[in-house]
Structure 1
Amino acid sequence: MTADHRTDSETPELGRTVQEFGDDPTEVRESTHYKHEYVQTFVDKWDELIDWRARYESEGKFFVQQLRDRGVKSVLDVATGTGFHSVRLLEEGFETVVSADGSAEMLAKAFDNGMKFGGHILRVVQADWRWLNRDVHGEYDAIICLGNSFTHLFSEKDRRKALAEFYAMLKHDGVLILDQRNYDSILDNGFSSKHQYYYCGDGVVAEPEHVDDGLARFRYEFSDGSEYHLNMFPLRKDYTRRLMHEVGFQKIETFGDFQSTYSDDEPDFFVHIAEKAYLEEENNEEENEA
């Protein structure tokens, strides 16, 4: 068994420094491969890519306000990465924030960042989204899955399973906030980026090296000359919305770069806000119309 094809139960050791993609990196299209991509040296540079200060300013109060408008008190951050949004929500006074990620390296960095930025002791859990209920306990007012993280899932079966797990862990009136790159524009028009909202670090290049209908392989170059890659699935916006509807979310609102009004080819990122609340009146109206 090669390093690129470990089973789910085989967790890579912490402290790895070299990414593993095998002989043909564009053929690596597995939902669990991210574990071999977020090596320690890449994780250590991740905050250079994000730039916490610039990210804070670029997104403003968008996520905080969306959650507050819905009376959210408890949040499960299922793709916490280095902890930016978990720390932000704690700083904003949310009562319960649990920080989950599939990468042990990311969780260790997030925990350190929690202490570094405000002295917060993050509640971190290593979890696979497909078995989220096994690894994380309780129900939450909101689940956030940010940072283009959902695109690490390469099969529709895995995407449906993950969304079903998110749905099950939400309270009856809970909300899921999930974002993604504007892969529609990348696939149809080629890549362009304002580099303004998500990856705000100066001196860092993040751009696709290979794109087809089943893979977006991004290259990340840092000012010291180091280079890393991530293999992701290029989700189309309407496809993501359809999966959410089919899993059970009834009301889904999509923003482009935090704006409710946009042309589809303009935003760098889409943010989907999916509500679980059962809309009985709308269902009755549809039945009457039928």
Structure 2
Amino acid sequence: MIFVLGATGKVGRALVPALLDAGAGVRALTRDPAKARIDPRAEVVQGDLDTADLPALLAGADRVFVLTQGHSADREAAVAQAAAQAGVTHLVKLSTTGVHFGQTDPITRAHAEAEQAIREAGPEWTILRPGAFMDNRFAWLGSIREENAVYVPEGDPASALVHVRDIAAVATLALTTSGHEGATYELTGGEALTTEAQVAILSEAIGRPVRYVEEPESAARERMMRKYGWPAEAVDGFFALKRESAAHEDVVFDTVERVLGRPPRTFVAWARENASAYHHQE
């Protein structure tokens, strides 16, 4: 039985059906099963990691996919220790490429500490370190629908965006086959694209012109807080992460192709899959 934490997140939502399609039994944790829309083939468990009896929650699972809200190192360390007590044999943690590059922003530091806790807990482990997600471009939905425009902070770097289904595919292999114990996998797409190129690809997929607009960081901060409702702390964390990752967000790793035996999914394919979401809402 594979216990999936973060089952309703970007990766978890792709991972649960991928594991089930591979023939694995899946138990998925969620705070609210009624809202979760988890694949009906999975066993859904209601619970909160901060209040649950973790060893009891993990009883009967032999592998665990570790992904927690806020990427709390303390929370993931508690999960790892409880997993060891419950007899779990393999932990697969979702981390970030920032750890590979030694970034010191708060989000990356939390992942680095959690990685260490996973490695020290006792069970076998595999660490997945994806770069920026293609799904992050859903942040442009509002401005594309309303203004046919994308606003980005000046100097936004080129990025080797990765498809969440590729992350889920690697996680599925790590959780269902042997040979991935003790491995740390950096995961990116197969090419680095400038933000302007990403907008052009989306524009073509949607079938109408989309303007690419660079704006000062101060204007971008204002937009995130006023229009999107981000708290100031989250905006600060985002820009700290962007500053740290800017120098290497365009680095391409060949891990997806090496592990899966096929090229990574492209942003062109992602844009075509998701073009309908960007159409004007009546």
Which of the five TM-score ranges fits, normalised by the shorter chain? 0.3 to 0.5
Provide the TM-score with structure 2 as the length reference.
0.34
Which one has a larger percent strand, Structure 1 or Structure 2? 1
Q: Normalising by structure 1, what TM-score?
A: 0.34
Q: Which has the higher helix share?
A: 2
